[in-house]
Amino acid sequence: MKIAFYAPVKPPDHHIPSGDRLIGQNIVKALELSGADVTVASRYISYSKRNSDEVLERKKEGALERVDRIVERLSNSSPDLFLTYHPYCKAPDWIGPRVAAAFEIPYVTIEAAHTGQGFENGGDQWKKWRDEAQSEFKKADLHLCFKPTDKDYLLHALGPDTPVDDIPIFIDTSADANAQPVAHPTHWRPNVPVIFTAAMMRPGKKTENFKIIADALKPLQALNWNLVIAGSGPEEAVVRELFAPFAADRILFTGGIEHEDVMAHLAKADVFFWPGWKEPIGMVYLEAQSQGVPVVASKSMGVPLVVKHGVSGLLTPEDDTKELSENLSKLLSHPVLRKDLSQSARDYVRAHHSIEAASRELMSKLQAVLTS
């Protein structure tokens, strides 16, 4: 099967690491694992942080200008199907439906979604963008959904007969199986649990999650632990200030690091702690668990889809920082519990979120679209 692939938020070979990029890369790997011939149809980014009409028109015009060139380029080896990952109101897909129509092939989306932002003051600041995205959603022959909330949204927005189906969230663990542990600061004592967390330091929910981490750690300063914080961004100074009350010699800021370095830190960590407040999915949870690192997080949005309470980590109700702190204390204080969750976390990812299983299921659903 020849598949034209497009990710309007960020192409899979983008230079900036992110969850979106990782999922896009994993989708391409999963397709190729099943023998598909995958071509990145376009690297055009329709995503916008601003919802102005002027930006909308410019983004749409830029996408439409590329359609004919994409069709011409792909015509030498015509695709059988067009697959778009993560179109939504901040990143409408104006390319996929038109290229699919030109070749008279099915158009399929993965994680077509919407944003919960922009509804302040009783209005919908992204309405025009949302309307554009939904107009293109209607042209899809199938929507594959990672999350039940996305499925519900599509059925509500587009109608009960909208073709939707589920697909598991997955990662490729083979590339990270031999991650080499990173060296920690020499003054850190051995056998002291290491907490690892990683995220871009951006305004909004990312910074809020870092604040929750700091608040949860404040009651635990008498316990033995060290903390590694990976990431950088415009709010780095704010994040560093959040952790200023803690002893500086127990905290390591790595700055922005590459994916292999994240995996190296995970290979040495004892606990992965990211609250996940308003977290759509959180691929790093699966990466941590695949390395045998139990998770402490909240039951927020997409987190319970990738972390199983009592099996691969400990989850708390959203906004309950006190219980979040207590769960972290349990893992820091009980090495046997950490060991048990470490092994079951690995087993959980292999059984439920492996790229091998997802590859078979994904291709089965795409083949069904081709033959329908």
pLDDT tens column, 61-70: 999 999 999 9
pLDDT at residue 283, as a whole number: 84
- What would the two tokens of residue 221 be? 């300063």
Q: CA–CA separation, 356 vs 162, rounded Å?
A: 28
Q: What confidence tens digit (pLDDT) does each residue in 144-196 have? A: 999 898 999 999 999 999 999 999 889 887 755 566 778 899 999 989 999 99
Q: For residue 23, what are the domain limits?
A: 2-170+354-371
> How many domains are contained in the chain?
2
Q: What confidence tens digit (pLDDT) does each residue in 35-45 have? A: 999 999 999 99
Q: CA–CA separation, 275 vs 282, rounded Å?
A: 10
Q: CA–CA separation, 368 vs 372, rounded Å?
A: 6
Is the domain of 83 the same as that of 220? no
* CB within 8 Å of 15: residues ≥ 6 apart: none
Residue pair 8/45 in contact (Cβ under 8 Å)? The answer is yes
Residue pair 89/114 in contact (Cβ under 8 Å)? The answer is yes
pLDDT at 266 over 70: yes
Of 164, 236, 226, nearest in space to 199 by CA: 236
Residue pair 303/276 in contact (Cβ under 8 Å)? The answer is yes
Span 107-113, mean pLDDT?
A: 96
Q: CA–CA separation, 127 vs 191, rounded Å?
A: 53
Is the domain of 184 the same as that of 264? yes
CA angle (192 as vertex; 191, 197 as ends), nearest 5: 125
Residue 290 per-residue DSSP state: H
CATH of the domain at 365: 3.40.50.2000
Q: CA–CA separation, 308 vs 327, rounded Å?
A: 14
pLDDT at residue 201, as a whole number: 95
Is the domain of 113 the same as that of 187? no
pLDDT at residue 372, as a whole number: 83
Is the domain of 122 the same as that of 218? no
Span 344-372, mean pLDDT?
A: 92
Residue type, position 134, single letter: Q
Is the domain of 230 the same as that of 286? yes
pLDDT at residue 178, as a whole number: 60
Q: What is the pTM of this model?
A: 0.78
Is the domain of 162 the same as that of 291? no
Biggest CA pair distance of the chain: 66
Angle at which helix 205-217 crosses helix 321-333, to 10 degrees, equals 60
- What would the two tokens of residue 365 be? 């659903």
Is the domain of 341 the same as that of 367? no
Is the domain of 108 the same as that of 151? yes
The mean predicted confidence, pLDDT, of the chain is 93
Is the domain of 188 the same as that of 312? yes
Is the domain of 218 the same as that of 341? yes
Is the domain of 162 the same as that of 265? no
Is the domain of 204 the same as that of 318? yes
Residue pair 313/236 in contact (Cβ under 8 Å)? The answer is no
Q: What confidence tens digit (pLDDT) does each residue in 222-241 have? A: 999 999 999 999 999 999 99
pLDDT at 142 over 60: yes
